[in-house]
């Protein structure tokens, strides 16, 4: 595995691969890798000849009072894991390399509407930061396929919209959420959980699952189900931002037919956890 920090070196290498007719997969991350990232890399290996993984904690997607400085950075462990997974290139740029004019002055990618609901309502500017860095990274790597976790469901939809609206010629693949045995979705931010918080954290998935079953059993009382979910989270010591049932394709208000996604974001201690599950009446 080669570790590259310069955009020019990355472009040169990927151009060589493409000239040789090789298919390239790309997995963007912010590092502090866990088994969830491992499953993205595993799928990337199945889909392409070459795999590039980026590790970049993107300041543009953090608000002024968020955890940019504290975000866990474990570059040596990340490199070891990626090497063992057969990754070809680890791209690990400094902030200046990605924002040479400074992050305030950089051109931005905005996906209006969908960027200001759910997490976007609580983290203003977050999804513009995500869409901007992902567009930059995709333009640099120009992969045939890029892979993202379904845990960040709204992020995945925003990335799909970015790629579609900006006519970027690549496939975006969503990979199912990897969970701990008790259901907690794997996340770098699980590190922020105290032992007590970690014990109640699986309540998030349990509540999402309870709601999924109610929807699949035919309940159309979406407001009531959302309220029950919020109350259950609060009862267990969470401070929920939202617990919401949406149309799985648009993230708009749900219709009574079709596919649904139930999404939540909830704070506990220092951590803000997000998760979602899909529900379908088509099965
Ligand atoms: O999901 C993440 O880790 C980040 O939001 C991403 C997609 C790597 C962009 O910084």
Give the residue extent of every domain in the chain.
2-175, 188-277
Percentage above 90 pLDDT, the chain: 98
Q: Cβ neighbours of residue 39 under 8 Å, at least 6 residues apart?
A: 175, 176, 178
Model pLDDT for residues 59-109, shown as the tens digit of each residue: 999 999 999 999 999 999 999 999 999 999 999 999 999 999 999 999 999
The half-sphere exposure of 129 on its side-chain side, counting CA atoms within 13 A, is: 18
**Strand ranges (DSSP E) for the chain?**
2-4, 24-29, 50-55, 89-91, 145-149, 171-175, 239-247, 259-268, 271-280
Mean pLDDT of 47-64: 98
Given a cut of 90, whether residue 258 has pLDDT beyond it is no
2 is in an annotated binding site: no
Mean pLDDT of 108-125: 98
- Yes or no: domain 2-175 corresponds to CATH 3.40.1280.10: no
The CATH topology of domain 188-277 is: 3.30.1300
98 is in an annotated binding site: no
Nearest atom (ligand 1) to Cα of 61: 10
| Burial annotation 226-239 (CB, 10 A radius, 16+ → b, else e) | bebbbebbeebebe
Task: Characterise 218 by phi-psi region: left (phi > 0), alpha (psi -120 to 50), beta (else).
Answer: left
Given a cut of 70, whether residue 5 has pLDDT beyond it is yes
For the chain, give the mean pLDDT: 97
Measured distance CA(117)–CA(126) in Å, rounded: 11
For ligand 1, mutation pick of 33, 57, 152 (most atoms within 8 Å of CB):
152
Q: Whose CA is nearest to atom 5 of ligand 1?
A: 130
28 lines ligand 1 (CB under 6 A): yes
145 lines ligand 1 (CB under 6 A): no
Given a cut of 70, whether residue 203 has pLDDT beyond it is yes
Q: Cβ neighbours of residue 120 under 8 Å, at least 6 residues apart?
A: 114, 126, 127, 154
- pLDDT value at position 256? 87
- Local confidence band at 257 (pLDDT 50, 70, 90 cut-offs): confident
The SS3 of residue 72 is: coil
Nearest atom (ligand 1) to Cα of 58: 10
- pLDDT value at position 282? 77
How many other CB atoms are found less than 10 A from the CB of residue 6?
A: 12
Q: Which of 95, 92, 106 is nearest to 59 (CA)?
A: 95
Q: Which residues are catalytic?
A: 37
Measured distance CA(228)–CA(108) in Å, rounded: 38
Nearest atom (ligand 1) to Cα of 29: 8
């Amino acid at each position: 595995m080669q570790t590259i920090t310069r955009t020019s070196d990355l472009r040169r290498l990927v151009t060589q691969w493409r000239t040789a007719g090789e298919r390239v997969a790309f997995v963007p991350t912010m590092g502090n890798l866990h088994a969830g990232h491992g499953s993205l890399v595993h799928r990337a290996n199945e889909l392409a000849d070459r795999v590039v993984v980026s590790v970049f904690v993107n300041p543009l997607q953090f608000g002024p009072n968020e955890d940019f400085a504290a975000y866990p950075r474990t570059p040596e462990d990340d490199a070891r894991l990626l090497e063992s997974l057969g990754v070809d290139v680890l791209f690990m740029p400094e902030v200046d390399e990605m924002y040479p004019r400074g992050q305030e002055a950089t051109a931005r990618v905005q996906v209006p509407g969908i960027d200001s609901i759910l997490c976007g309502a609580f983290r203003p500017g977050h999804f513009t930061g995500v869409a901007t860095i992902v567009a930059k990274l995709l333009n640099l790597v120009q992969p045939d396929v890029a892979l993202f976790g379904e845990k960040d469901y709204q992020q995945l939809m925003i990335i799909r919209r970015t790629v579609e609206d900006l006519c970027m010629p690549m496939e975006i693949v969503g990979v199912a959420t990897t969970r701990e045995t008790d259901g907690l979705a794997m996340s770098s931010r699980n590190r922020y959980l105290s032992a007590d918080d970690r014990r109640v954290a699986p309540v998030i998935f349990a509540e999402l699952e309870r709601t999924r079953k109610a929807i699949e059993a035919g309940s159309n009382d979406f407001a009531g189900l959302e309220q029950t979910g919020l109350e259950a989270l609060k009862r267990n010591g969470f401070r929920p931002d939202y617990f919401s049932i949406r149309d799985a394709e648009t993230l708009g208000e749900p219709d009574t037919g079709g596919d649904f996604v139930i999404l939540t974001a909830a704070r506990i201690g220092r951590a803000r956890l997000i998760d979602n599950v899909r529900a379908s009446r088509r099965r």
